């Protein structure tokens, strides 16, 4: 049954990308705005006694149609065979191995960061986002067969979200729109986050629904890239994920690694922290809570859990 939905996804994704990719803005976001306007209109109408029943039925109909389309376009993919079952090694992750990898990625990050472009304040910037996106599409075709035999479309359907100003306050870096097959990203993020976020969302475009599996496939896309910006963003994400995993067990080790960040990496980290602090608030808490519920309802760990990505990483990497 799941294989049917995987095949169906390939067809609808290809059609949607052909139809929507050429539009210069996020058509999926535009559709959500229209949907919101219609629902608001129906809700207002439902307060009137004469039209209440008919508009309540319309609201329920819209919600049910939306949910049905979501499930056939995307929701069933959460039941695919987990990537961890495809790996030769399926051992429990250990903090000691994570520490070895953290030091490895600290060195890799430091070296790659020296090759990157900076702004006048010494903060990492992306010179050519289109080149990063083209590299992601190219790297999709080079994923190990044991991980993915999914068809890479080679269609650039990355879109900056129309909701970027709201996303700044939600903790959402990007998202995949299953109704238009667009990979949305927040264009106002610190540049260190944008390449890997794009690789992550492109993994959803390939058909990897689980968030931590999309992180892992994004890691595979970026880690061996010849594009400095994509590789650095991926290495930096991997290092941060490892440190988050280690932090509870050995906070002193994490402090030591952070102290040994290169000056360039320290500037990038400070800029990221400033961005996050500037946009923290109730909206961030609300979306964090609702996203957590959404992930758990789709057979996933919560939004702040890194353990499955770390499971995949430690079993894939040879130390």
Residues 180 and 214 in one domain: yes
- Pairing verdict, β 124-125 and 158-160: unpaired
**Judgement on whether residues 112 and 18 belong to the same structural domain of the protein:** no
C-alpha distances in Å from residue 77, one per residue of 55, 70, 148, 250, 298: 33, 11, 14, 36, 10
The token pair that represents 288 in the structure block: 């964090």
> Where is the domain boundary, 46, 77, 108?
77
Among candidate residues 45, 77, 109, the one where a domain is terminated? 77
Judgement on whether residues 284 and 251 belong to the same structural domain of the protein: yes
CB 170 within 8 A of CB 164: no
Take residue 18 and report the two structure tokens written for it.
């052909």
User: How many of the other CB atoms lie within 10 Å of CB of 26?
Assistant: 24
What's the CA gap between 112 and 108, in Å, rounded?
Answer: 6
Same-domain check for residues 176 and 207: yes
Query: b or e along 254-274 (b: 16 or more beta carbons within 10 Å of the residue's beta carbon)?
Result: beebeeebeebbebbbebbee
Same domain, 100 and 200: yes
Residue 90 and residue 68 in one domain = no
**Main-chain dihedrals φ then ψ at residue 151, nearest 5 degrees:** -80, 125
For residues 62 and 146, state if they share a domain. no
The total of structural domains in the chain comes to 2
Q: Which residues make beta-bridge pairs with 125?
A: 117
Same domain, 89 and 186: yes
38-57 residues labelled b (16+ CB within 10 A) or e (exposed):
eeeebeebbeeeeeeeebee
Q: Residues 6 or more apart from 139 whose CB is under 8 A from it? A: 199, 220, 221, 222, 224, 225, 230
> Same domain for 66 and 90?
no
Same domain? 136 vs 186: yes
Same domain flag for 57 and 123: no
Range of the domain at 56: 2-77
Which tokens belong to 93?
């992750």
Bridge partners for 182 per DSSP = 177
Last residue of a domain, one of 14, 48, 77: 77
How far is the C-alpha of 158 from the C-alpha of 46, rounded, in Å? Answer: 38
190 and 264 both lie in a single domain: yes
Burial (CB count <10 Å: 0-12, 13-18, 19+), residue 96: exposed
- Taking only the tens of pLDDT, the chain with its 319 residues reads 667 888 889 999 999 999 999 999 999 999 999 999 988 988 888 887 777 788 888 889 889 999 999 999 998 999 998 999 988 877 888 999 999 999 999 999 999 999 999 999 999 999 999 999 999 999 999 999 888 888 888 899 999 999 998 888 888 899 999 999 999 999 999 999 999 999 999 999 999 999 999 999 999 999 999 999 999 999 999 999 999 999 999 999 999 999 999 999 999 999 999 998 888 765 455 444 444 544 444 444 544 445 899 999 999 987 6
């Amino acid at each position: 049954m799941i294989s049917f939905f995987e095949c169906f996804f390939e067809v609808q994704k290809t059609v949607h990308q052909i139809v929507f990719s050429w539009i210069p803005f996020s058509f999926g976001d535009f559709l959500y705005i229209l949907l919101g306007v219609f629902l608001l209109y129906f809700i207002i109408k439902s307060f009137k006694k004469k039209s209440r029943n008919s508009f309540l039925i319309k609201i329920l109909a819209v919600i049910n149609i939306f949910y049905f389309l979501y499930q056939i376009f995307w929701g069933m993919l959460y039941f695919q065979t987990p990537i961890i079952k495809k790996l030769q090694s399926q051992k429990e992750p250990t903090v000691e191995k994570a520490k070895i990898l953290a030091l490895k990625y600290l060195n890799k990050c430091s070296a790659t960061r020296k090759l990157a472009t900076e702004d006048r304040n010494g903060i990492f910037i992306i010179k050519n986002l289109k080149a990063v996106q083209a590299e992601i599409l190219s790297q999709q075709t080079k994923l190990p067969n044991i991980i993915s035999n999914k068809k890479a479309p080679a269609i650039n359907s990355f879109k900056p979200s129309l909701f970027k100003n709201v996303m700044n306050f939600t903790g959402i870096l990007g998202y995949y729109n299953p109704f238009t097959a667009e990979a949305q990203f927040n264009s106002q993020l610190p540049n260190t986050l944008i390449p890997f976020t794009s690789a992550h969302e492109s993994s959803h475009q390939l058909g990897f629904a689980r968030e931590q599996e999309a992180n892992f496939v994004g890691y595979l896309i970026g880690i061996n890239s010849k594009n400095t910006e994509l590789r650095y963003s991926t290495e930096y994400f991997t290092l941060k994920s490892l440190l988050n995993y280690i932090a509870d067990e050995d906070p002193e080790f994490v402090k030591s690694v952070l102290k040994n960040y290169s000056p360039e990496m320290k500037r990038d980290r400070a800029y990221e922290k400033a961005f996050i602090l500037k946009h923290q608030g109730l909206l961030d808490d609300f979306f964090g809570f609702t996203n957590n519920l959404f992930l758990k309802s789709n057979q996933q760990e919560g939004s702040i859990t890194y353990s499955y990505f770390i499971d995949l990483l430690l079993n894939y990497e040879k130390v």
